[in-house]
Structure 1
Amino acid sequence: LKSFYFFLSFLLNREFDIIHCHFGNIGEFGITLKNIFPEYKIITSFYGADLSKYVKQHGKEYYQELFHRGDLFLPLSQCFASKLKELGCNEAKIIVHSIGVDMTRFVSSGRNYNKRNNIILLTVGRFVEKKGYEYSIRAVAKLLEQHQDMKYLIAGEGPLKKNLVMLASELKITKNIEFLGTINQNEAIELYKKADIFILPSVTAKSGDKEGTPTVLIEAQATGLPVVSTFHSGIPEIVENGKSGFLVQERDVNTLAEKIDFLIQHPELREEMGRYGRKFVEQKFDIKKLNKRLVEIYSNLLGNSQ
């Protein structure tokens, strides 16, 4: 209730020019505000579920009023920009604006790329279907036939955790897999430093839910980790296949295991990919550069309206 009154007083003071809504469904609320304050510009950012699960649930017409009355739309990938156009959004209102990370916090110095034994695999994220953890756990079970001293760390919580713990038990790999629970960003940074390979086997969920551009993949590359993920949603735009890591088809356990094994067997490639990934993120996903660009987007929108 306190937050509501703060928000209401902020609106009534009218000390702003733009209402920036994060997620498409919040953009719908932004249009309601535009009915009250028609002079303000509405920007909507799209992130994942709002262009996959929500559209599947509510139909392709769900955002038509938003597309018509909203001023600007910021999908975080070209993949989502194409989806917006497919749903009827005017291409002239679309600007791709990515998620970024603080490059001063995620550093790559001091990493040992020469390990061949006691390899640590890492996954960070919620235990939900679209993360595809079932497939990385099955891939690890295959890998343990050759790499008995390998460890797989999974950080996070979520509704599927119990099922995944049971799967690890059924596959008899509980000695090699550790479920770390919820972690904060500082703890995540320490895990990135500790790990040798980052895995995120994302898939399209039965509900239609999809990833956007998972921030953990950007963070992992920023710390110099080679990554293994999937050809899913916007992921090919944030991981350069064959350069900063490997991408495989969704739910392909065998190829997932093969790519991880190849990285284990070739520490020089882990180093090459890790260093490339760091430079790639510096160029495209540095939060300072992206914030500066966002200010330019705001200024251009207001300049064009005057």
Structure 2
Amino acid sequence: MDIAFIFTEFPSGQVSNSTRVFSFLEMGYNVTVYANTCGNKHLSYEVRNKYPNLDIIYFQKHKGYLLIKEFLKDFFIAPRISLKRWQKAFNKELFFIFYLKKILGGRGLKNDSVTLQKRRNAPISYLRLKQLENKNHDFFICFFGPTGLNFLFLKELYPKALFCTYFVGFDYSSRLSQYGSTAIYKQLFSMSDIIFAKSTFSQQTLVEIGCNEEKIILDYNGINLNKFEHCTPKVQTNETVKFIIVSRLIAKKSHILILKAFIRIISINKNFKFTIVGEGPLREKIEEFIKKNPELFKRVELIGNISQEEVVSLLRLHHVFIHPSTTSIPFGDKEDTPTAILEAMAIGLPIISTFHAGIPDLVKNNENGILVPERNIDYLVDAINYFLNYPEKINQFGNNSRKIAEEKFDTGQNCLRLVKILKENQKKIAQ
């Protein structure tokens, strides 16, 4: 199996996006990653050291002279090498001309947002075509919807290869709000062999916006459970209950709402600590909010970015993971299944979160955590108080968290299942 993964950024801060790449490498498959940019240079250095066999190719940036150079190279340099190569180059150029005509809408160019987006991407698609030609990949796997759109020409160029696209949250929520039309994905849904959804919520949403249900396959985010030793906390009577959140400091993670909930709780129960791990644009606002409340200041610790190993060690020292995600305003961005929640579950922590996108797939209400409505401080206060008043439930819910992680979110098992799905669908194309 020769697999090509296509990203906007690789590697990026979103660790879950890279999980499939590393899993396939560790299983011995040939893997090539194509990306527009490197999202994290330090992480890129670590990835190249750990996986020296991983081929990472970054696409050329769109510049006018590059278009001319690539076009002339095929028609003036190739003939000097051989007539056969010139014919092959000519066929590729001819293919792209017809492809452009197709994506631009044929006769009478339209001016709707969907066509305008395709028109803007046309020169970039040409350069990507030049870098991807003469490749022999069996599978093209795009992360995420917009990336799949930009690389649809691969399905026509390599009809025997399986073309797959992952959808994650923003691509079927905020991105659709920006374009104002579900038609943006019509061609992608039609031409893709498989559309991967990361939660039952995204699966249902994709059907609602026009994807054939038979094409959608549920493939949960997974984590390597071997890196997360199960150590569910046992809280002793009168012991301080320690809550923690690990996330970027952005509005949809609801840090200020959590702090407001703890302010209410202080008047009833002061036997808690709260740790915030992460960086982001709201750090200054969060710091100011904490400083204005002396009782809160004594009980809240704000830590910046730390390594994953340090995060794991810190999770083991806490009792409850809190992560009340919300739909962002104004574009309605959703985040599907947060990896941070999965990691806390793998350690064996109970979860407080929201009925948001794919989170109910991770957190079973009153089984391994408590789910509350988005932006509802009253329910959030009740959920926090529940673990303060019934600390014995922390151990019970925490054990259930680990059990659910083992059953549904082990990346090794999920990857074996994915390989089977890819091979079965490849056989269908061959027939």
Superposition deviation, residue 9 in structure 1: 8.7
Superposition deviation, residue 187 in structure 1: 1.2
| 1:180 paired residue number | 303
- Among 235, 248, 251, the alignment partner of 1:129 is 251
Per mean C-alpha deviation after superposition, the further-off stretch among 104-113 and 173-182 is 104-113
Superposition deviation, residue 19 in structure 1: 0.6
Percent sequence identity over aligned pairs = 33
> How far apart, CA to CA, are the structure 2 residues paired with 1:9 and 1:57?
30
Q: In the alignment, does 2:140 pair up with 1:19? A: yes
Q: In the alignment, does 2:173 pair up with 1:52? A: yes
> How far apart, CA to CA, are the structure 1 residues paired with 2:420 and 2:337?
22
TM-score, normalised via structure 2 length:
0.67
Conserved? CA contact 2:348–2:398, under 8 Å: yes
| 1:228 paired residue number | 352
| Aligned residue runs from structure 1 range 41-190, under 5 A | 41-58=162-179, 59-109=181-231, 111-114=233-236, 116-172=238-294, 173-190=296-313
> How far apart, CA to CA, are the structure 2 residues paired with 1:65 and 1:305?
19
> How far apart, CA to CA, are the structure 2 residues paired with 1:301 and 1:38?
13
| 2:67 paired residue number | none
Superposition deviation, residue 10 in structure 1: 7.4
| 2:403 paired residue number | 279
Superposition deviation, residue 218 in structure 1: 1.3
Q: Which residue identity does 1:34 align to in structure 2? A: K
Conserved? CA contact 2:235–2:241, under 8 Å: no
Q: Which has the higher helix share?
A: 2
- Among 59, 72, 75, the alignment partner of 1:4 is 59
Q: Which residue identity does 1:4 align to in structure 2? A: F
Q: In the alignment, does 2:415 pair up with 1:291? A: yes
The SS at the match of 2:276 is: strand
TM-score, normalised via structure 1 length:
0.93
- Among 333, 346, 365, the alignment partner of 1:241 is 365
The SS at the match of 2:141 is: strand
Superposition deviation, residue 40 in structure 1: 2.6
Residue deviations 1:134-193 (CA, integer Å, cap 9, x gap): 211111222222333422111111122222222223344222211111122111111210
Superposition deviation, residue 13 in structure 1: 4.4
Residue deviations 1:178-214 (CA, integer Å, cap 9, x gap): 1111122111111210111100011111121112111
Conserved? CA contact 1:116–1:264, under 8 Å: no
Residue deviations 1:121-145 (CA, integer Å, cap 9, x gap): 1001111222122211111222222
Conserved? CA contact 1:130–1:211, under 8 Å: no
Per mean C-alpha deviation after superposition, the further-off stretch among 167-176 and 273-282 is 167-176
> How far apart, CA to CA, are the structure 2 residues paired with 1:285 and 1:134?
30
> How far apart, CA to CA, are the structure 1 residues paired with 2:133 and 2:405?
40
Superposition deviation, residue 113 in structure 1: 3.2
Residue deviations 1:44-83 (CA, integer Å, cap 9, x gap): 1111111111111112222111111111101101110111
Conserved? CA contact 2:326–2:356, under 8 Å: yes
Q: Which residue identity does 1:266 align to in structure 2? A: Y
Q: Which residue identity does 2:427 align to in structure 1? A: G
> How far apart, CA to CA, are the structure 2 residues paired with 1:127 and 1:18?
36
> How far apart, CA to CA, are the structure 1 residues paired with 2:233 and 2:305?
24
The SS at the match of 1:109 is: coil
Q: Residues 268 and 147 from structure 1, CA distance in 2 versus in 1: closer, same or farther, beyond 3 angstroms?
A: same
Residue deviations 1:202-243 (CA, integer Å, cap 9, x gap): 111112111211111111111110110011111111100000
Conserved? CA contact 1:151–1:176, under 8 Å: yes
| 2:92 paired residue number | none
> How far apart, CA to CA, are the structure 2 residues paired with 1:99 and 1:81?
14
Structure 1 alignment gaps of length 5 or more: none
The SS at the match of 1:104 is: helix
Conserved? CA contact 1:246–1:259, under 8 Å: yes
Number of residue-to-residue matches in the alignment: 305
| 2:428 paired residue number | 304
The SS at the match of 2:226 is: coil
> How far apart, CA to CA, are the structure 2 residues paired with 1:178 and 1:171?
13
Superposition deviation, residue 32 in structure 1: 3.4
Structure 2 alignment gaps of length 5 or more: 1-36, 38-56, 61-127
Conserved? CA contact 2:140–2:163, under 8 Å: yes
> How far apart, CA to CA, are the structure 2 residues paired with 1:10 and 1:288?
32
Conserved? CA contact 2:232–2:348, under 8 Å: no
Superposition deviation, residue 290 in structure 1: 0.5
Per mean C-alpha deviation after superposition, the further-off stretch among 202-211 and 241-250 is 202-211
C-alpha RMSD of the superposition: 2.0
Q: Which residue identity does 1:239 align to in structure 2? A: V
Q: Residues 56 and 110 from structure 1, CA distance in 2 versus in 1: closer, same or farther, beyond 3 angstroms?
A: closer
